[in-house]
């Protein structure tokens, strides 16, 4: 039990979630260890939180799949709601997607535990 508490507290402090991400993910484990992690101190590198910052940096530096030698048919990208809030709006992200992939890109809204917008070039429907 002691190991579980320590690892959960360390994971919460290292991830440095914002209140917005805490609300979006609705994680019971994250919400239980949020306040103790906040009192001890988060390892926050950038605003709003570390996960959103890494996702934003990866998205901005993304190159088109064709330049990497990958067929565009396999294009799949998930964007979290905190990233959309950080980038401004969906139109900014849609414009970046158009620079990455040519032709029609399908857009799906998910309502799972961590709500996301999924972009597919060719969705696999079974």
Question: Model confidence over 57-86: pLDDT tens digits?
Answer: 888 898 898 898 888 888 888 888 888 888
Residue 31 lies in a domain: yes
Residue 29 lies in a domain: yes
Residues written for the chain: 126
Question: Model confidence over 42-51: pLDDT tens digits?
Answer: 766 666 777 7
Residue 125 lies in a domain: no
Note whether 64 and 113 are same-domain residues.
yes
Question: Model confidence over 80-99: pLDDT tens digits?
Answer: 888 888 888 888 888 888 88
Note whether 71 and 23 are same-domain residues.
no
Note whether 63 and 116 are same-domain residues.
yes
d(CA 88, CA 81): 11
Residue 114 lies in a domain: yes
For the record, the structure tokens of 84 come out as 């959309």
Instruction: Reply yes or no: is the peptide bond before residue 65 cis, omega within 30 of 0.
Output: no
Note whether 65 and 96 are same-domain residues.
yes
CB 50 within 8 A of CB 56: no
For the record, the structure tokens of 18 come out as 């914002």
Residue 126 lies in a domain: no
Domain interval for residue 65:
50-120
For 121, half-sphere exposure in the C-beta direction (CA atoms, 13 angstrom radius) is 16
For the record, the structure tokens of 89 come out as 């709006």
Residue 45 lies in a domain: no
Question: Model confidence over 102-119: pLDDT tens digits?
Answer: 888 888 888 776 678 888
In degrees rounded to 5, what are phi and psi of residue 26? 55, 40
């Amino acid at each position: 039990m002691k190991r579980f508490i320590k690892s959960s507290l360390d994971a919460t402090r290292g991830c440095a979630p914002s209140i917005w991400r805490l609300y979006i993910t609705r994680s019971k484990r994250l919400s239980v260890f949020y306040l103790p992690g906040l009192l001890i101190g988060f390892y926050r590198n950038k605003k709003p939180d570390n996960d959103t910052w890494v996702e934003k940096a990866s998205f901005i530096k993304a190159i088109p799949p064709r330049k990497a030698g990958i067929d565009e048919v396999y294009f799949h990208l998930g964007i979290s709601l905190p990233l959309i809030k950080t980038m401004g709006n969906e139109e900014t992200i849609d414009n970046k997607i158009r620079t990455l992939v040519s032709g029609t890109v399908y857009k799906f809204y998910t309502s799972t535990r961590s709500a996301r917008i999924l972009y597919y070039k060719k969705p696999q429907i079974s």
